[in-house]
Structure 1
């Protein structure tokens, strides 16, 4: 009996020590995390700068953005707050907002409607396609909002860019009234221009959106970029370089880098153009930049349309879908400037 009690007592002691050891271990980790001066300072700083939730007409708002633009994944909520209303309980904002959150809005996608103003409004509000904003061509100062930015609009369809797919989930869509293009008997496309008033509207709207949501340059895209095998909008006459130069919106390559790469690109095109290995290299470079494309080692239709989409955006002087030396140099310069993270 004494031996049994001894064994039980010893077991209890071992269990107690083990439990105490684990408990101490957990407490030690917690103390270490909390006691780090840098973490404590950041936490205090963030608590101090948080403005209060405001309320207007029964709707709560929080309009501060404490995002870290280098991460694009640490963003305080912005705008109106949607909250649960559990029966018999009160939801409070005592500890609102947590910093471990991000925006749904990671991308800004630009389109054209291929319809006149009145039909564009009708289709985008009454049918199974929509956009968050519609920029008319009436020469006024109005921009139509059609969908709440916090909601998904149906503008991107089957789409992909870099590691992301189904971009309706993570994007804001802007439609621009424009009749698109006409094609001749050979299939050559002639695109319709945008008015200066429209471009000013688009630039102001895009600047506001990318600033509020801290959307990186690599995520400001054409519909043709995210769906190159089936879409052409907003086409080669949309002034991407103007937006880049004058409003700091979106991507553009460095001219000096392009010129440096041009000589080698000319040699590649003239000596390797039909080599499967070279075509594969081109396809891999298109994938690296962001386009969804299978590597076949052939100048297939998907590759041609993807090259055409690249040209719409970055080489609008020639959008025939053929990889020439300048397009090849531009693609390499873009990959140098905007590497995949």
Structure 2
């Protein structure tokens, strides 16, 4: 993969080994504005990422992988209760996002994302369950990369968890039981509605209503099994 260096000064030293990949969308009106912000040392909220993937598939490297980029913010996942930035490689995918005309991700762009994720996953032996979206680790604040992101394409290559589709059973959890299971899976459930919607955005994107129904319960139960079975 041809990667173009476009260094950002917004980084510091890691405090944890790399064990995660976090996918974002840029959420700005155009790529140039997003890249400029990720490289701006004078921004009020200094942010950065390790990589940016443009809509035509071009990949920019802003921060070396051995450094801590500032992309996750206040976030947690599984056994990492804070400082996700130290444990992760952050990839920003150019897309205007929900505020500026959210749209499908071009095939060329996703092809580059797949190659990049594959290389990083192999480099650090990252598990599928630790390849996540920003909304997974910060459900109260974030919606990216959003319901249009084709997680299924990554799942088919074992680069993310699949949406379970086989041998589904309804455990008939109450909402409280569902939230306990969701927390066990990895989500912060401090805001129950936000956590449920983040789960749906990732694993049942055709209906994001914040309601716990039989389908949500069946999907989550299957994800908690040792080997989730899906079409991917």
Name the SS for the 1:160 alignment partner: coil
1:256 is the counterpart of 2:161: no
Scaled by the length of structure 1, what TM-score is found? 0.58
Structural mapping, 1:29-178, within 5 Å? 104-115=17-28, 116-126=30-40, 127=43, 128-137=46-55, 139=56, 141-164=57-80, 165-178=82-95
What is the match of residue 178 of structure 2? 282
Considering Cα pairs closer than 8 Å and 6+ residues apart, tell me whether 1 or 2 has the greater RCO: 2
Q: State whether residues 58 and 109 of structure 2, in contact with CA within 8 Å, keep that contact through their aligned partners in structure 1.
A: no
Normalising to structure 2: TM-score of the pair? 0.84
Comparing 151-160 with 119-128, greater Cα deviation is found at 119-128
User: Shift of residue 113 of structure 1?
Assistant: 0.6
SS of residue paired to 1:281 = helix
1: CA distance between counterparts of 2:167 and 2:52? 36
Matching residue of 1:332? 221
Distance apart, 1:338 and its partner CA: 6.2
Q: Deviations over 1:64-101 (max 9, x none)?
A: xxxxxxxxxxxxxxxxxxxxxxxxxxxxxxxxxxxxxx
In structure 2, the residue matched to 1:322 is: 211
CA offsets 1:171-225 (integer angstroms, 9 cap, x no match): 0000001011149xxxxxx842111111111001000000111101111000000
Spell out structure 1 runs of 4+ moving beyond 4 A.
none
In structure 1, C-alpha distance between the alignment counterparts of 2:106 and 2:23, rounded to whole Å: 15
Query: Which structure 2 residue ranges, 5 or more long, are not aligned?
Result: 1-15
**Higher normalized helix content (fraction of residues):** 1
Aligned CA-pair RMSD:
1.9
